[in-house]
Amino acid sequence: MVITTDTHLSNGATTKAESWFAAAEYVPPDAIFALTAQYLKDPCPLKVNLGQGTYRDHTGKPWVLPSVRQAREQLLAQGLDHEYLPILGLRDFRERAAETALGSAIYSGREKLAICQSLSGTGALHLVGLLLKKCQRPLPKVYIPEPTWSNHHQVFRSLGFQCESFSYYDYERMRLDWDSYLSVLDGAEAGSIFIVHACAHNPTGCDPSKAQWREVGQIMKRRSLFLLFDAAYLGFNSGDLDEDAFAIRHFIGELKLEAAVCVSFAKNMGLYGERVGCVVMALNSHVIARNTQSTLEMLQRSEVSNPPAFGAKIASVVLGSEKQRRTWYTDLKTMSGRTREMRESLHDALIACGAPGTWDHLKQQSGMFGFLGLSPEVVTILREPSSSSHLRDAQFYSVYG
């Protein structure tokens, strides 16, 4: 439908302008990227960006992982072309990514897997959403933890799913809201979808223990619920990829549940701008896996035709060589170890300067993200560029002390 609007000309006359998009609404900027824009404009020399999740070295600069640098040099030395990939993506990358996430034992039954390269984690989530939308009628409800990464809601709402938030974090006790988690699992309708972080929950840094994951799995199996893993931080969380993949492998390998795993190498390889991701579907039979993979191929074709090649080739080299993989594991320990040290240093500094309250929850969190537990008023004071440091200190204690 074309909508006609009045346009006022410079001479005072009015004319009719027609647009197919006059009904488009203004959408405020994404909160995380808007915060980064504020950060870039702030002239304070001591500023720190606590919004967008990207690893920085001790100088505050982007860090190209040694394993990635070596893989890139190897590709360039061999001669790099820019031909199209197949619709499903680079075969070597898909296979190595799936084996990395699932482990060799589960991957040995790969005839029951459907695997498709994606545009990082966001693209993987969207592909799984499209697949579920095509295969499920009526659309099941999607349960998403609160708080969570904002794109979880945006992706699935844009596809027509009803998204239901459930309490994941206890803001008062600053820990996992375990009772609420179990209550929602027990009360959800059979066939519902649950989106969970495989590790390093974004943004709280609070994950279930292995015992708690096992309890979640038993309920999900009994209640016939479907689990969608957002696996963006494997290896980055603890420095041990196998440890971080525990929940994925327990649900699929031990409980024999169908599940979707949305893998991303943006964080754990520092390939942020290369958009390297993968959808791994664990299914009940080779026939279902074959059919599902063909459906993913069709959906991929209609969405992006075929995925980008360069980042996938880098990841494939890193994952495909025992030497390169060992270097990558060292890189993961470097990033996770430094992140842990920074968390502990912040805890110790807050205690040393007499900051009111308890800060032990900081050391119990893990991964790239975490919650300080500050009030919105305190956060506003701390990032106010016009305040002097002494004024900020005074305001901090008046609001929080």
State pLDDT tens for residues 248-282: 999 999 999 999 999 999 999 999 999 999 999 99
CA 74, chain centre distance (Å): 29
In tens digits, what is the pLDDT along the chain, a chain of 401 residues? 555 555 555 565 555 568 999 999 998 888 777 878 888 888 887 777 777 678 888 888 889 999 999 999 999 999 888 999 999 999 999 999 999 999 999 999 899 999 999 999 999 999 999 999 999 999 999 999 999 988 999 999 999 999 999 999 999 888 999 999 999 999 999 999 999 999 999 999 999 999 999 999 999 999 999 999 999 999 999 999 999 999 999 999 999 999 999 999 999 999 999 999 999 999 999 999 999 999 999 999 999 999 999 999 999 999 999 999 999 999 999 999 999 998 898 898 988 988 888 888 988 888 888 888 888 888 888 777 555 454 444 443 333 33
Name beta bridge partners: 62: 56
Residue 161 domain-assigned (yes or no): yes
- At what angle are helices 310-320 and 91-102 packed, to 10 degrees? 50
Residue whose structure tokens are 């870039």: 40
What is the pTM (predicted TM-score) of this model?
0.87
Residue 329 domain-assigned (yes or no): no
* C-alpha to C-alpha distance for 70 and 318, rounded to whole angstroms: 8
Where residue 287 sits, what CATH number does that domain have? 3.40.640.10
Residue 376 domain-assigned (yes or no): no
Residue 82 domain-assigned (yes or no): yes
DSSP 265-297: -TTTS--GGGTEEEEEEE-S-HHHHHHHHHHHH
> Is 240 labeled as catalytic in the residue annotation?
no
Residue 267's domain spans which residues? Answer: 67-324
Residue whose structure tokens are 């972080």: 197
Residue 303 domain-assigned (yes or no): yes
Residue 176's H or E segment, with its range, is strand 175-176
Residue 140 domain-assigned (yes or no): yes
* C-alpha to C-alpha distance for 264 and 182, rounded to whole angstroms: 28
Nearest CA-CA partner of 193 in 234, 155, 232? 155
- Of 230, 244, 313, 328, which residue is the catalytic one? 230
State pLDDT tens for residues 364-388: 888 888 888 888 888 888 777 555 4
The total number of structural domains that make up the chain: 1
**How buried is 26 (Cβ within 10 angstroms: 0-12 exposed, 13-18 middle, 19+ buried)?**
exposed
The alpha carbons of the chain give a radius of gyration, in whole angstroms, of 23
Two structure tokens written together for 82: 């820019």
* C-alpha to C-alpha distance for 320 and 59, rounded to whole angstroms: 31
First to last CA, the chain: 58
Residue 301 domain-assigned (yes or no): yes
**How buried is 14 (Cβ within 10 angstroms: 0-12 exposed, 13-18 middle, 19+ buried)?**
exposed
- Of 267, 313, 328, 331, which residue is the catalytic one? 267
- Of 112, 149, 207, 213, which residue is the catalytic one? 149
> Is 267 labeled as catalytic in the residue annotation?
yes
DSSP 32-99: HHHHHHHHHH---TT----SS---B-TTS-B---HHHHHHHHHHHHH----PPPPTT--HHHHHHHHH
Nearest CA-CA partner of 244 in 231, 260, 262? 231
Residue 217's H or E segment, with its range, is helix 210-223
> Is 230 labeled as catalytic in the residue annotation?
yes
Residue 18 domain-assigned (yes or no): no
